[in-house]
Structure 1
Amino acid sequence: MRYLKVQYTIKPGVLDQVRAAINKLVADVKENEIGVLSYDVYWEEPTRRFTHLITYLDDVADEIHRNEPHLIEFVTKMHPLGEIDPKPTIIETLRGHIPSGAVLFASTKQLNDKEGERES
């Protein structure tokens, strides 16, 4: 398996656009890419930073993902909304290890639920 972390910071005032683009991307990946085993997105509100954690079946699945039209469309949409360019990093897992001081992030679903509460 291959694990990738991508982090980027968005500009102020573009959260709704970014959230819509992420939701579309994740739906497209789920529908079209059997080599992507998981795709999780986390949001840190105070810093406006998003973190994508992606698990691929193998290196080939990673390469296929990078060339998918829906990913290219997402990157094109996101570029003007970002404040800091994405930082992709291949990561290793240490099963059962939780570092001290670990930060918990809200998931995209939690973010959507939170927005719904504000509108009520």
Structure 2
Amino acid sequence: MSEGKWLFLAGLGAGAALALRMSEKQISSVKGFAAKIANSESITDARRVATEKMDDVLRTQGAKLIDKLAENLKTQLNAGGSAAWAGFANAGKTGDTPPDASTTSTDKDGVTRDKDGHIIIDGKIVA
């Protein structure tokens, strides 16, 4: 059960105890019974088995998800075409000017902004 359900059941139990005005002995008896069930060997074993199975599923499905994301990234990178990659690769050579060479500006207060108006500090957009 999730933590929220346990809290709900605990609140329900407390409400029942107050509404029915159980004696202290009866309340401690119910608490003991609930603790005995929660700490029983079969519940502990079931919790351990469920945890192991969940870990295995997350491990295998996580690996599959990462492989799928990597494949999608490769596909998207390759979809740009060789002309786009050639322009990117040649941008650093002497004599070539990359497109949009000036995408930032500094205003009169010394604040550097990109073409969309975002504030840039140390090469990072901060606002």
- Pick the structure with more helix per residue: 2
TM-score, normalised to structure 2's length?
Answer: 0.19
Bigger relative contact order, structure 1 or 2 (CA pairs below 8 A, ≥6 apart): 1
Question: Which is greater in Rg?
Answer: 2
